[in-house]
Amino acid sequence: MHIESRVEKLREYMESEDLEAVILMNPENQYYFTNFYAITYSRPIIAVVERNATHLIVPQLEEMHAKEEAKVNDIRTYYETPGKVGDAIILLKKLLEGSKRIGVEKRFLPICLAESLGKDIIFHGIDSLVENMRMIKDDEELSLIVKAAKLADRGVKKSIEYARENVSELEIDNAGNFEILSQASKNYPEMRNSLFSMSPSGSNRTAIPHVFSTGRKIKKGDMIIHSRQVSLNGYRAECERTFFLGPLKKYQEELLEIVTEAQKKAIEKIREGIRASEVDRIAREIIEEAGYGSYFPHRTGHGLGLSVHEPPYLRYDSTTILREGMVITVEPGIYIPKMGGFRHSDTIIVKKYGAEVITRTPKDLGYLVR
């Protein structure tokens, strides 16, 4: 889907809800509707969609960048130098003068901004609309995600193969980083990319599902959950593998087998028309039947795209029905204090008649036990 048709869809909604303008503050949504993505922090960037024009408010140091990349009708600049407008909010208020009903991301818009626009304005949430639009990926988005998945695979493989006694979690991450950045440089030289990884190791640290890598050195008998996301032009894929610096203990093998089976069975069920909650139920039942239900403390998976996590969520109480073009992870896990954590994650494109698994790092023990 092109930027233009996305904006058009947003405008149809604006018309139906009688909104005069939409403010976009979330950088991912800004990118989705304007093609502009900046390195963001203390200087606000604001996108505004009106019925007949699109605008971007940027600090001066992003002006040239925005002119090159943003697909908007109008760029307005604020300055950090004397004698010029120095505040994004002043520009925004001027732009929205007279508007009474404004669409906003209610999960993102800070109340200071709402307050500074005035008490008379009615803020209408557009969160669900945008989430629903972003859930179904078009061909261009899918193509980026498939490429990102290939990079993630390469990185995960490199990290696993690099692991040996006395190598630290950070060094395991770094081996994969190196591979991914080299490959991305070679194959996608024009694209923006980003990396995230973590490699908790040992039976204490892997038992906590999400922790940052540290300099802890891995030891014989350790398990490691290596987790990796890669993005290309903002679009993300994820691959996670639990692997072992042998020898493998019996209980480790058993627990890994359970989560691997739960993941496999959940993936087999995926296709257009199945409920997200049903995918969670299948994985959860397998883990419960094995007696570890209380050690599976999270949903079975999540959508991904421009966000690290985004709808649909494979959660027991989700009402979402999976549709072709959705991209999700499937990653049931078992975490037992002092015994360790076990989880593989793969990225999947929902198809009409099944799941296309786009991360392909091996899961057989011959590969995962180093």
**Which one, 195 or 369, has the nearer CB to a copy of itself?**
195
Minimum gap (Å) between residue 351 Cβ and a copy of itself: 24
Distances (CA, A) of 63 to 27, 57, 67, 193, 256: 16, 9, 6, 22, 51
Give the 3-state secondary structure of residue 153.
helix
How far apart CA 195 and CA 144 sit, in angstroms, is 15
Q: 75: closest CA among 65, 84, 85, 83?
A: 65
Provide the token pair at 121.
């304005």
Contact range with a copy of itself by CB under 8 A, out of 1-9, 155-163, 240-248, 300-308: 300-308
Minimum gap (Å) between residue 135 Cβ and a copy of itself: 13
User: Total number of residues binding a copy of itself (CB under 8 A)?
Assistant: 80
Provide the token pair at 29.
């949504």
The one among 3, 89, 114, 365 contacting a copy of itself by CB under 8 A:
114
How far apart CA 246 and CA 39 sit, in angstroms, is 42
The one among 93, 94, 100, 107 contacting a copy of itself by CB under 8 A:
107
**Which one, 219 or 352, has the nearer CB to a copy of itself?**
219
Minimum gap (Å) between residue 187 Cβ and a copy of itself: 8
User: CA angle, corner 30, sides to 26 and 32, nearest 5?
Assistant: 115
- 354-357, strands of its sheet edge to edge: 310-314, 301-303, 327-330, 346-351, 354-357
What residues are paired with 348 via a beta bridge? 328, 357
Q: Please report whether residue 91 would count as binding a copy of itself according to CB under 8 A.
A: no
Q: Please report whether residue 170 would count as binding a copy of itself according to CB under 8 A.
A: yes
Minimum gap (Å) between residue 301 Cβ and a copy of itself: 11
Q: Please report whether residue 168 would count as binding a copy of itself according to CB under 8 A.
A: yes
The one among 98, 112, 250, 366 contacting a copy of itself by CB under 8 A:
112
Report the residue count for the chain: 370
Minimum gap (Å) between residue 184 Cβ and a copy of itself: 6
Q: Please report whether residue 128 would count as binding a copy of itself according to CB under 8 A.
A: no
What residues are paired with 125 via a beta bridge? 104
How far apart CA 263 and CA 15 sit, in angstroms, is 43
**Which one, 141 or 179, has the nearer CB to a copy of itself?**
179
**Which one, 181 or 321, has the nearer CB to a copy of itself?**
181
Q: Please report whether residue 42 would count as binding a copy of itself according to CB under 8 A.
A: yes
Q: Which of residues 212-251 bind a copy of itself (CB under 8 A)?
A: 212, 214-217
Give the 3-state secondary structure of residue 286.
helix
Q: Please report whether residue 338 would count as binding a copy of itself according to CB under 8 A.
A: no
Binding string, residues 52-71; x marks residues near a copy of itself by CB under 8 A: -------xxxxxxx--x---
